[in-house]
Amino acid sequence: MTLSIKPETAFPFYLIHYTTHKKQLIIHCLKPDVQILTSNGLRIPVHTGILASVSPVLENIIDRPHKHHSSEKIIPILGVPCDAVSSFIQFLYSSRCSEEELESYGIHLLALSHVYLVPQLKHMCSKSVGQRLSTENVVDVLQLARLCDSPDLYVKCMKTLSSNFKAVEKTEGWRFMQENDPFLELEILKFIDEAESRKMRTRRHREEQRLFMELSEAMECLEHICTEGCTAVGPSDMDPTNQRGPCNKFSTCEALKTPLVNLRPILILAGFHFAGNSS
């Protein structure tokens, strides 16, 4: 099937005002001079000047001398839905991509932006695809992120995968990957393992911090009881009613009361001086 479409009907975005000045000049002064061929046979007339200014890969293809000496220049972009190619071309012209297009063709546009080296679109797609991760698609997207060299999306997939592993393990995508890409499976299991150890380390560190804080407060209270005396705990030879106000660490002081009474002789021997105590 070959469809010939008039540029103005196929791409009203030619005239969209947010194209750059240079692009507007090309659009208004030159006729489309190359056609993009899509997988269902649709031909989209486009301007080489625009394609080359946005994608160095397309620039190379355009500059390459073509084998067939026909006057017609055709660049096939196959393997993705026709509408995804239209959205891609639209981005080359306008540097814009709608939310609907990203939702429908995000993964295809990610692949196209990687292959044709269009970093702005790649960034938009990585972000958008990352926001739409689900248990069902995360393995496929992970593979794509790896192929398209998209580290942000890769890490996001790994994190989603490791926190929903039980559910992901039951999906078709996981089983297919297990059979066809054992290295990726190993990579995922290693990531999950490391994430678990990281979590354990953080938990242990937090627990140590908590203990340290408790110990340090107990030491402070111990010193304060021994030197100033606490509201109700104070040194036995000092009248608690002499205290200035309620102690702000009273619960700790109170908890220290019993051991302190028992330990008092030892503490005195160890050099602690209780307020009002001459020994």
* Amino acid residing at 107: I
| CB nearer Zn ion, residue 145 or residue 225 | 225
46 binds Zn ion (CB under 5 A): no
Least gap, CB of 229 to Zn ion (angstroms): 8
The residue among 90 and 252 lying less far from Zn ion, judged by its C-beta, is 252
CB 51 within 8 A of CB 128: no
Q: Is residue 260 close enough to count as binding Zn ion by CB under 5 A? A: no
Sheet holding 74-77, edge to edge: 3-4, 42-46, 34-38, 74-77
Nearer to Zn ion, 182 or 259 (CB): 259
**According to CB under 5 A, which residues from 156 to 195 bind Zn ion?**
none
Candidate segments 36-44, 81-89, 198-206, 239-247, binder of Zn ion by CB under 5 A: 239-247
Contact 135, 164 (CB under 8 A): yes
Of positions 36, 247, 256, 260, contacts Zn ion by CB under 5 A: 247
Q: Minimum distance between the CB of residue 268 and Zn ion, rounded to whole angstroms?
A: 19
C-alpha 238/C-alpha 194 separation (Å) is: 57
Q: How far is the CB of 222 from Zn ion (least distance, A)?
A: 10
In the complex, minimum distance from the CB of residue 259 to Zn ion, in angstroms, rounded to a whole number: 14
Looking at the Cβ atoms of 10 and 253, the one nearer to Zn ion is 253
Residues 13, 17: Cα–Cα separation, whole Å: 8
What residue type is 132 in one-letter code? R
Kindly give the residue spans of alpha helices, DSSP state H, lying in the chain.
Answer: 7-10, 21-29, 48-54, 56-63, 82-94, 99-115, 119-131, 138-147, 151-163, 165-168, 172-180, 182-227, 250-269
Residue 253 lies near Zn ion (rule: CB under 5 A): yes
| 165: Cβ contacts below 8 Å, ≥ 6 apart | 192
Window of 54-62, 123-131, 152-160, 247-255 that interacts with Zn ion by CB under 5 A: 247-255
Among 230, 234, 235, 256, binds Zn ion (CB under 5 A): 230
Residues that bind Zn ion (CB under 5 A): 230, 247, 253
